[in-house]
Structure 1
Amino acid sequence: MPTLRRLGRLPIGLGLPAFGLLMVVFGVPIVMMFLTSLNAPAFSLVNYEGFIKQPANLRVLFQTLEMSLVATAICVIIGYPTAYFISAAPRQVRSALIVLVVIPYLTSLLARTYAWIVILGDRGLINNLLLNHGFITSPLPLIYNRTAVYIGMVHIMLPVMILPLISVMLGIDGSLMAAARSMGARPFTAFWRVFLPLSLPGLRSGSLLVFVLCLGFYITPAALGGLRDAMLSTFIAAQVASAFNMARVAASAFVLLAIAILMLSIIGFDLTGNPGDLVSARSSRWNLRTLSASLARYLNELSVSNRAKRWRTQLYKAGGKSHARLIVGKVFVALVLIFLLFPGVVVIVMSFSDGAFLEFPPSGFSLQWYRAFFGDPSWNGALLTSMEIGVAVALISTVAGTLAAYGLSRTSSRIRSVLTLVMLTPITFPVIVVGIATYLGLVNMGLIGTKAGMVLAHSIGGIGYVVVIVSATLANFDRRLERAALSMRANPMQTLARVTLPLIMPGIIGGAVFAFIHSFDEVVISSLVSGLSIRTLPLKMWENMRHQIDPTIAAVSSLLVLLPVLWLIAIYVVWWRSKPSARGLAVPGTAA
């Protein structure tokens, strides 16, 4: 007890509620799950050997790696130039473009997946257009294949690639590129030698995030792919549904988790985006370069005279942006945004169709599918359940996550980094692994098939989002305001309530919104811990998507597409209204 009291007085003691919940629901169960995979207490690798010896398992494993790598590579190819052009845009235009990227990121995964079913289906948008104009006589096989899975995965993961890149690129000093141009470097040379090395931290973080999240994909391959496009998460879910052999399921899950941890260990994950780390890493050379060094020097000598003339003419002259490059950038960004936003627009338009089936463009407009949604008790009940669970998750995650972030911000950087990574494990590990571990934790507490169990299962991920967002807000918080309040005889609780909380309130509200969205959109973990008695809105949508394409889903999806816009407006209003209060608090502190 004295040890616990001393720990509670430390700043890190504020994180005890969050860490306690994480350990009980996820931490201890995943350790037990690992021991089960090793047949503890006998401790053998027979389950892992059984996994490796089955050719079907290896095929699914390599297929998962292949699909994740391909999706990551496509996101890099599309996401890097998009982030580059957005970061180079004027400030107001850049802010609008970032919002347009964030909207699909916040949109329900199920709604986005359903949008591609509507677009790529046999009677979907593309096939209907081609059939109506006589270009084809029978529908093209655009869905239930590998290409459709890649389209869906890239559409979902592209914002995850773009946003870290923009964050790092905005921190790069533009005068460095201008200095390189003024010294005679061509635009591509300046980009390759200066800008690219400094942007590599964002590229590394984005690629790692996309790859690790792709490893755990379950919904998109199951909805858009065929039997040959199954990923390891789908395979593990099938094992759980058919014959719940815990030892084999645990071995399969930890094979997937080992790959994710291996990538995190090799590449590393740095949310700080410090360019210096990657600049030093870039100094390492391949042997191939040393083999071609003589040829490169010879070619350089041949162009010395021409380069000298160009250097003299462009010395101290900052190169401007070419008109053609600006046009290419605008067109490229516009195409990417169309790819991200058009599926949502299609679903919204089709949800107003007056026909018995969905069609684009609709022959007439009607609210019949919205009336079907609001008039069906099963849909209403699922919506109410999701709202109740989401609000409870937001409250628990906000309180526990804010306390944890506040305590971590006052600890040493090394301890803060380790504990933050621990807090983020539920949202960085493959979701199927988190789901199975959470299932085991709730089974031990007898909470499977209860709303309380669903709230706890969703809260471990919601806390991670709150910790990240509130920690980012606290990083810019001026602690001198707290010291000024304390010097004016305010006690710690008054300082927290009157100074700290009002100034970080936008981050707290943002964390609460993300925690709610995380809960409201959760499918995989919910399907494992809900039992047969609880049906959330995502579970109801997923069941209908698998068994029947009910047009009512279009109305539900359209509402979920519009929901992020409301969240962004709410966050902006809170942030905007907090600015006067922040200024009001800063003035007395400065005067004191």
Structure 2
Amino acid sequence: MEMLRKLGRTPIGLTLPAFAILFAVFGIPIVLLFLTSLNAPAFSLVNYQAFLDRPANLRVLFQTIEVSVVATAICVFIGYPMAYLITAASRRLRSALVVLVVIPYLTSLLVRTYAWIVILGDRGLINNLLLDLGLISSPLPLIYNRMAVYIGMVHIMLPVMIMPLVSVMLGIDKSLVAAACSMGARPFTAFWRVFFPLSLPGVRSGSLLVFVLCLGFYITPAALGGLRDAMLSTFIAAQVSSSFNAARTAASAFILLGVAAVMLSLLGLDLSGTQSPTEKPIRKSWPRRLSSFSTLRGYLNELAISYRAKRWTAKLYQARRESGWAKIVGNMFVVLVMFYLLFPSTVVIIMSFSGGSFLEFPPSTLSLRWYRSFLGDPSWTGAAWTSIQIGLAVAILSTIVGTLAAYGLSRTFPRLRGFLTMLILTPITFPSIVVAIAAYLGLLDLGLIGTKTGIVLTHSIGAIGYVVVVVSATLANFDRRLEQAAKSMRAGPLQTFTRVTLPLIRPGVIGGALFAFIHSFDEVVKTSLVSGLSIRTLPLKMWENIRHEIDPTIAAVASLLLLLPILWLVALYATWWRSRPKAERAFPDA
């Protein structure tokens, strides 16, 4: 007992509530699930061999990897120039572009998937437009194929790629590129030799996030893809719903987790941009293998020295002129990407005001018919109220527990802090279907399947990770000397935290709470497993209607859900503005 009291007084003791929830709902069940896949205590690989012996399973596995790789590559191809153009913009324009990128990221995944169903469907926006123009005689097969899956997945994952890139690019010293240009390097050469290598940590972290999240995609491939486009997560969910064989399902889940683990080990989690020891020998071995080519290149460089010297002298004092065509192409690219991110949601909002018996764009008549249908249907309003209750409970629990954990981690040793932070973030980095199965088994032992408490605990294991990340980022800029000053004036630890620390980190705490609420309010995969048949949240209600019938009421519900990210940003900005000093409010430019 005395040992527990001493542990509670240390900073690491503040992480105990977070790890208690994590281990009870996810940690211990995932270990038991792994042992089940090995047929413990016999310990055999029969279940893995049975999975790999079936050609259909291998096809689904390779198809999952292929879809994830292609979607990640498309996100890099679009996201890198978009992030570069955002960082090159003026301060106000950059802030506006970042907000426009964040809004789709915070929008419900179901809403964005439903938007593409409305646009790409047989009676969707594109087919109706082409039919009205007389360009086609029958609807084009734009949905239920691989291309539709890529369109939906890239639309959802593109903000996840852009934001890490913007964060890294903003930290790059632009004077390095200017110095390269002043020494005679062309703009593209300066970018390729200076700027691009420094931005690789953002490419690495963004690609890792996108790939791992794509591996666990379930909703978008199931809604937009055909039978030949099934992902491994869809295959696992079908196993759970049809005939739940714990051993074979566990083997399938850990094969999916193994693919994610391989990518984590290859790309690594170090975002500092330092080279690993294995990179240098590889780079040194190429000139040895191509010695003749290197000799020729050195001879040509010697011949070009005089030309480069004359060119450098001539260009040294010339002002840098930006090409007008480059500006035009860059602006068009930004507009197209923003159109791709924002147009689907705009279509859903406009179509939700349609007065007809089916959705059309543009609406022939305007009406609030489908909003009245939503508010007058107890099944819809009941599901919405259930989601609000669960979301508030998750936000309160995860904010308290996550803030304590972040505060405790900020006071521990760096190596231990990094290890414990990765443990807390495992429910976010693991594929969603694997976390859902582990949480199902953990709550089954606790007798909480089909209860709101079980759903709150399941959502909290991921929401705590978001709170820890946001609050830890706020604590990184916190001046600890303020706490020392309070303690020197005989303030106790609790009084110091409530009167000094908490008011200064309040924006981060509120931001983490809002992230936790949105994470819970949008959750489908985990909720579908642990809710049983007695509890229906709003995302589950929407998912059932999307799969079985396209009820126009969903458009009204989706439009209302689009208000959540806007309210989130308004609340966060208001909190940040109130936390600024009065002098800074009076003179914002300073």
Query: Which amino acid is the alignment partner of residue 41 of structure 2?
Result: P
2: CA distance between counterparts of 1:462 and 1:582?
Answer: 35
Structure 2 residue 3 is the aligned partner of structure 1 residue 11: no
> Partner amino acid for 1:412?
F
> What is the distance in 1 between the residues matched to 2:161 and 2:280?
21
Q: State the alpha-carbon separation in 1 of the partners of residues 188 and 480 from structure 2.
A: 43
Whole-Å separation in 2 of the counterparts to 1:280 and 1:345 = 48
For normalisation by structure 2, the TM-score amounts to 0.96
User: Could you say which residue in structure 1 is the equivalent of 2:562?
Assistant: 561
Which residue is 1:90 aligned to?
Answer: 90
Q: What are the superposed Cα offsets for residues 363-400 of structure 1, whole Å, 9 maximum, x if unpaired?
A: 11110000000110000000000000000000000000
User: For 1:199-214, what aligned pairs fall within 5 Å after superposition?
Assistant: 199-214=199-214
Cα distance in structure 1, aligned partners of 2:280 and 2:125: 46
Gaps of 5+ in 2: 586-590
State whether residues 197 and 282 of structure 1, in contact with CA within 8 Å, keep that contact through their aligned partners in structure 2: no
- Quick one: which amino acid aligns to residue 265 of structure 1? S
Alignment of 1:73-84 (within 5 A): 73-84=73-84
One-letter identity of the residue aligned with 1:355: G
- Residues of 2 paired with 1:583 and 1:319: CA distance? 35
Asked if 2 retains the 8 angstrom alpha-carbon contact of 1:29 and 1:440, the reply is yes
Structure 1 residue 262: Cα displacement = 1.4
Per the alignment, in what secondary structure is the counterpart of residue 135 of structure 2?
Answer: coil
Q: CA deviation at 1:314?
A: 2.4
Return the letter of the residue paired with 2:283: R
Corresponding residue for residue 587 of structure 1:
none
Matches within 5 A, 1:106-121: 106-121=106-121
Give yes or no for the alignment of 1:103 onto 2:88.
no
Instruction: Provide the C-alpha distance between the structure 2 equivalents of 1:264 and 1:274, rounded to a whole number of angstroms.
Output: 15
Q: Deviations over 1:118-154 (max 9, x none)?
A: 0000010000000000010000000000000000000
TM-score by length of structure 1 reads: 0.96
CA distance in 1, matches of 2:126, 2:99: 28
> Relative to 1, partners in 2 of residues 1:236 and 1:173: Cα closer, same or farther, differing over 3 Å?
same
Rounded Cα–Cα distance in structure 2 between residues aligned with 1:21 and 1:451: 16
Deviation at 1:329, TM superposition (A): 1.5
Q: Look up the match of 1:477.
A: 478
Deviation per CA, 1:88-115, whole angstroms, max 9, x where unpaired? 1111110000000000000000000000
Which residue is equivalent to 2:588? none
2-side partners of 1:28 and 1:125: how far apart? 48
Deviates more, 1:284-293 or 1:54-63: 284-293
Q: Could you say what secondary structure the match of 2:337 adopts?
A: helix
Alpha-carbon distance in structure 2 between the residues aligned to 1:243 and 1:365: 47
The 3 A distance-change label for structure 1 pair 320 and 551 is: same
Q: 2:497 matched to 1:499?
A: no
Counterpart contact for 1:121–1:142, Cα < 8 Å: yes
d(CA) in 2 for partners of 1:528, 1:582 = 52
The aligned counterpart of 1:525 is 526
**Structure 2: distance between partners of 1:522 and 1:581:** 40
Counting matched residue pairs gives 582
Specify whether residues 581 and 390 from structure 1 end up closer, same or farther in structure 2 by C-alpha distance, changes over 3 A only.
farther
Deviation, 1:276, is 3.9
* AA aligned opposite 1:471: S
Question: Does residue 261 of structure 1 match 2:265?
Answer: no
Quote the offset at 1:533 in angstroms.
Answer: 0.3
Partner of 2:327: 326
Unaligned runs of 5+ in 1: 585-592
Correspondences of 1:23-34 after superposition (within 5 Å) = 23-34=23-34
Distance 1:383 1:247, change over 3 A: same
- Partner SS, residue 285 of structure 1: helix
Match of 2:418 in 1: 417
Q: Which amino acid aligns with 1:78?
A: I
Taking every aligned residue pair, what percent have the same amino acid on both sides? Answer: 73
CA deviation after TM superposition for structure 1 residue 318, in Å: 6.6
Instruction: Provide the residue aligned with 1:285 in structure 2.
Output: 283
| In 2, Cα distance between equivalents of 1:286 and 1:150 | 38
Q: CA deviation at 1:280?
A: 9.9
Task: Give the residue type in structure 2 aligned to 1:205.
Answer: S
Cα deviation, 1:410-441, whole Å, max 9, x if unaligned, reads 00110000000000011110000000000000
The CA deviation at 1:187 is: 0.5
- Does residue 150 of structure 1 match 2:157? no
The letter for the 1-side match of 2:268 is G
Evaluate the alpha carbon distance shift between residue 293 and residue 456 of structure 1 in structure 2; reply closer, same or farther with a 3 A threshold. same
Distance 1:279 1:363 in 2: 65
